[in-house]
Structure formats: structure tokens, C-alpha cells
């Protein structure tokens, strides 16, 4: 190896190490040059394809370490077997190579997920498809990161002779033997499997509006073990992933964000409904919160004292529906108070057995 080098100035014991060091440096330089050329070519080829381009750019640093360590591994493979310490160096380089390959895989996953999130913004009006892709990307990316880390650690342990049994056990836990170990780790595995179910079946997505245990909130984050629900008053509810698989809940934006809202008023029987209906329609048309789909007035119930009138309205999302309900309620109460003050519920009573004549004067003896 590198026999053309003049080594007469070195002691006999140092000459193999000098040759090895020069070979390793040259191998790293050649590997990095090839990597640079390949990176420039791939970056140009994948420019029209945003996902592949993001992976190529995001994995550049990690791939540099991988090719450099591969070059070192090739050089160490060609060293004489009787050369001391090279076996330990080979093990060390192999472990570093496995760790860098794990880093490369995680960098590729992260770049791919970031590109998917960037190319599908969900801060738009019609964001159902974007939220579906965002949820799948985040959940699957976290699961992939965990699997890659587990495999990387397992292969590192398999490389070391003293820890080979432990590495084999870790690999087995990722396969069929994991079902046995899963009895003890049921909550962890249950949440992991629930995360995969949520990613594919998608009962919830990022930014979905939910009713969980009577609380209204939006899905703020989906992690590998729990869901963060941002409640309307800025509190955060932490719910395990498995809960959404095993319990019923309301999802107001599962198919579409548009909703129907209702306003109920109890009115006296003497209130004419036609003027109230016209005022209701005027309030809806005057508000930009109304999406023009539904505006209806119906008497839905009666009692011995009043009638219940339901005002049905539609809005593009739950926030607009709530604001529109409040606006319509305030406007109708003001209209009825101004034009039909007697129309609010009253209690009628007839008192019998009392005479309207004044009582006779009382005679007091002197």
C-alpha cells in the first residue's frame, strides 16, 4: 500500500502507520470530492421534484460523514491482519458509520416531513386536505424516527462482541418477540399503535375542532403518545392517543369546517313572527360571518306561557358560527324589546274570590 512513498526518513516501526494515515487522508479527500460532485448533480436533477430535492439538501451533511467513514472502512479492511490496533480502529469506525447512517436516515425523514408541511400550508380557509397530510406526516415521521433509532442502536450493539446478545434482543423486540414484551409495555405500545391508526384512519387531525369531555378546543399537536387540545380559554388538555380510539368524541371539522348554529328565544304568543323573521334575515345578510347557506325561523316548542322559536343559521367555521349566534341573539332581543316589548315571556294569573268593592267601615264602640 503506497509503496511509491520514500519512507527512509522514518523508523521501521512507524512506516506502516504513516502509510495508513496517508491512505486514510487520501481516501477521505477522494470520497468527499465524489460526494460533492454527486450532490451537485442530484440537486440539479431533483430541482423540479420538491420532496426529493428536500431530502437531497437536508441529508447533505450526514451523507458527507457516511462517505468519509466508508472510505476509512475500506482502507482499514486492506490493512495487514498482524498490524496492531487496527482491529479496534475498525470496530470504532464501524460503530461511527452505523451512527452516521442512522443520522442520515433521520435527516432524510425530517427533511421529507418538513417539505410536506411546507408545501401543504393549513392556515387557509379550505384546509381539510392540508390538515390530513399534516397529521399523517407528523405522526408517521415520529414513528419512523423511533424505529430508525431502535434499529441503529441494535446494529451498534450487534457490532460489539460483548453486547451482541443485547443487540439481538433489541431487534427481536421490534419483531414477533415484541408481542410478548408488549404485555408489560401495553400503554406505550397501545399509544404507538393508536398513533398509526390515527395517521391512517384520521379520526382527528391537526387544527380539528373537538368536544372532549365537554370541553371545546382545537387539536394543537399530535405527539407519539398524546394529543394536545387547545381549549377556547387558552388552557391545554393532554389526552392519550389511545383515548381517541376507545372513546366517543365530537369532531366538528371531520369532513368540512362549515357548521349550523342555533339561537333559541322564548316569546309570548302575541308576538307576530313575520316581522321577527324579516329582522332575522336582515341581521344575517348584514353580517359577513353568514355563509348564505341556511337562515330559517321555526317554532319548535310551546308551553302554557310561551312559545320557543329557533333561529337556524350557517357559518363557514365554528368560530364564525359562535360569533354569528351571539350577534343574532343580541339583535333579536333588541328588536323585540323595541317593537314588541310585551312579547317577552310573562306570567298571567287571575286571582278569584276577591271583591273590588271597598270593605265596610268598621264600627268601634265608645
Residue-wise pLDDT for 173-222, tens only, equals: 555 545 554 554 556 666 667 777 777 778 888 888 899 988 999 998 88
- How distant, in Å, are the alpha carbons of 206, 229, 249 from that of 235? 17, 8, 19
For residues 239 and 274, membership in a common domain is answered with: no
For residues 96 and 21, membership in a common domain is answered with: yes
Q: What was the pLDDT predicted at 364?
A: 46
For residues 242 and 337, membership in a common domain is answered with: no
Residue-wise pLDDT for 78-118, tens only, equals: 777 767 777 778 888 888 999 999 999 999 999 988 888 88
For residues 309 and 218, membership in a common domain is answered with: no
Domain termination residue (choose one: 119, 153, 177): 119
Residue % of the chain over a pLDDT of 90:
25
Whole-model pTM: value is 0.58
Beta bridge partners of 336: none
Residue 26 belongs to a domain? yes
For residues 51 and 102, membership in a common domain is answered with: yes
Grid cell locating 289:
360571518
Q: Indicate which CATH number applies to the domain containing 234.
A: 2.30.30.60
Q: What was the pLDDT predicted at 327?
A: 94
For residues 246 and 314, membership in a common domain is answered with: no
Q: Is residue 80 classed as helix, strand or coil in its secondary structure?
A: coil
Residue 124 belongs to a domain? no
Residue 296 belongs to a domain? yes
For residues 45 and 106, membership in a common domain is answered with: yes
Residue % of the chain over a pLDDT of 70:
78
Q: What was the pLDDT predicted at 366?
A: 41
Q: Indicate which CATH number applies to the domain containing 332.
A: 3.30.70.100
Instruction: Please report where in the chains the cell 451523507 appears, as a residue.
Output: 63
For residues 288 and 334, membership in a common domain is answered with: yes
Q: Which of 123-137, 207-221, 342-356 has the lowest mean pLDDT?
A: 342-356
Q: What was the pLDDT predicted at 5?
A: 53
Q: What is the layout of strands, in order, in the sheet containing 307-315?
A: 259-267, 307-315, 290-302
Residue 101 belongs to a domain? yes
For residues 113 and 22, membership in a common domain is answered with: yes
For residues 284 and 239, membership in a common domain is answered with: no
Residue 3 belongs to a domain? no
Domain termination residue (choose one: 251, 284, 308): 251
Helix, strand, coil distribution of the chain in percent, nearest 5: 55, 15, 30
Residue 304 belongs to a domain? yes
Q: Which helix (H) or strand (E) holds 236?
A: strand 236-240
Grid cell locating 292:
348564505
Domain termination residue (choose one: 102, 119, 136): 119
Residue 173 belongs to a domain? no
CB contact at 8 A, 7 and 24: no
Q: What was the pLDDT predicted at 155?
A: 83
Rounded Cα gap, residues 198 and 242, in angstroms:
9
Residue 128 belongs to a domain? no
Domain count, the chain: 3
CB contact at 8 A, 50 and 60: no
Q: Give the dihedral sign, CA 181/184/188/190.
A: positive
Grid cell locating 315:
357559518
Q: Which of 26-40, 145-159, 192-206, 323-337 has the lowest mean pLDDT?
A: 192-206
User: What average pLDDT does this structure show over 153-179?
Assistant: 63
Domain of 50, in residue numbers? 15-119
Q: What was the pLDDT predicted at 12?
A: 61
Q: What is the mean pLDDT of the chain?
A: 81
Q: What was the pLDDT predicted at 259?
A: 87
Q: What was the pLDDT predicted at 84?
A: 74
Q: What is the layout of strands, in order, in the sheet containing 250-251?
A: 236-240, 226-231, 215-222, 209-212, 250-251
Rounded Cα gap, residues 250 and 260, in angstroms:
15
For residues 228 and 323, membership in a common domain is answered with: no
For residues 230 and 294, membership in a common domain is answered with: no
Amino acid at each position: 500500500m503506497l509503496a511509491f512513498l520514500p519512507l527512509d526518513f522514518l523508523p521501521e516501526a512507524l512506516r506502516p502507520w504513516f502509510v495508513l494515515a496517508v491512505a486514510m487522508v487520501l481516501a477521505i479527500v477522494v470520497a468527499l470530492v465524489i460526494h460533492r460532485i454527486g450532490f451537485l448533480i442530484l440537486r440539479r436533477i431533483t430541482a423540479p421534484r420538491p420532496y426529493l430535492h428536500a431530502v437531497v439538501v437536508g441529508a447533505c451533511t450526514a451523507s458527507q460523514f457516511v462517505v468519509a467513514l466508508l472510505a476509512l472502512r475500506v482502507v482499514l479492511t486492506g490493512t495487514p491482519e498482524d498490524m496492531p490496533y487496527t482491529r479496534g480502529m475498525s470496530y470504532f469506525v464501524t460503530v461511527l458509520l452505523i451512527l452516521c447512517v442512522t443520522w442520515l436516515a433521520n435527516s432524510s425523514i425530517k427533511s421529507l416531513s418538513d417539505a410536506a408541511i411546507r408545501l401543504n400550508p393549513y392556515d387557509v380557509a379550505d384546509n381539510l386536505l392540508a390538515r390530513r397530510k399534516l397529521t399523517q406526516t407528523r405522526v408517521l415521521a415520529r414513528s419512523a424516527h423511533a424505529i430508525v433509532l431502535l434499529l441503529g442502536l441494535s446494529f451498534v450493539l450487534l457490532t460489539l462482541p460483548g453486547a451482541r446478545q443485547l443487540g439481538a434482543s433489541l431487534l427481536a423486540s421490534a419483531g414477533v418477540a415484541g408481542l410478548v414484551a408488549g404485555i408489560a409495555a401495553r400503554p406505550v405500545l397501545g399509544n404507538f399503535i393508536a398513533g398509526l391508526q390515527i395517521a391512517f384512519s384520521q379520526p382527528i387531525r391537526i387544527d380539528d375542532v373537538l368536544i372532549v369531555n365537554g370541553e371545546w378546543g382545537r387539536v394543537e399537536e399530535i405527539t407519539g403518545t398524546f394529543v394536545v387540545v387547545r381549549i377556547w380559554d387558552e388552557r391545554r388538555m393532554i389526552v392519550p392517543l389511545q383515548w381517541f380510539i376507545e372513546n366517543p368524541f365530537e369532531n366538528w371539522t371531520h369532513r368540512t369546517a362549515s357548521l349550523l348554529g342555533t339561537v333559541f328565544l322564548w316569546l309570548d304568543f302575541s308576538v307576530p313572527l313575520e316581522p321577527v323573521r324579516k329582522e332575522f334575515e336582515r341581521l344575517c345578510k348584514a353580517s359577513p360571518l353568514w355563509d348564505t347557506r341556511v337562515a330559517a325561523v321555526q317554532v319548535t316548542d310551546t308551553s302554557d306561557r310561551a312559545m320557543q322559536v329557533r333561529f337556524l343559521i350557517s357559518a363557514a367555521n365554528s368560530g364564525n358560527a359562535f360569533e354569528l349566534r351571539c350577534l343574532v341573539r343580541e339583535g333579536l332581543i333588541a328588536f323585540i324589546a323595541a317593537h314588541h316589548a310585551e312579547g317577552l315571556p310573562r306570567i298571567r294569573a287571575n286571582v278569584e274570590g276577591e271583591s273590588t268593592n271597598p270593605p265596610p267601615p268598621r264600627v268601634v264602640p265608645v
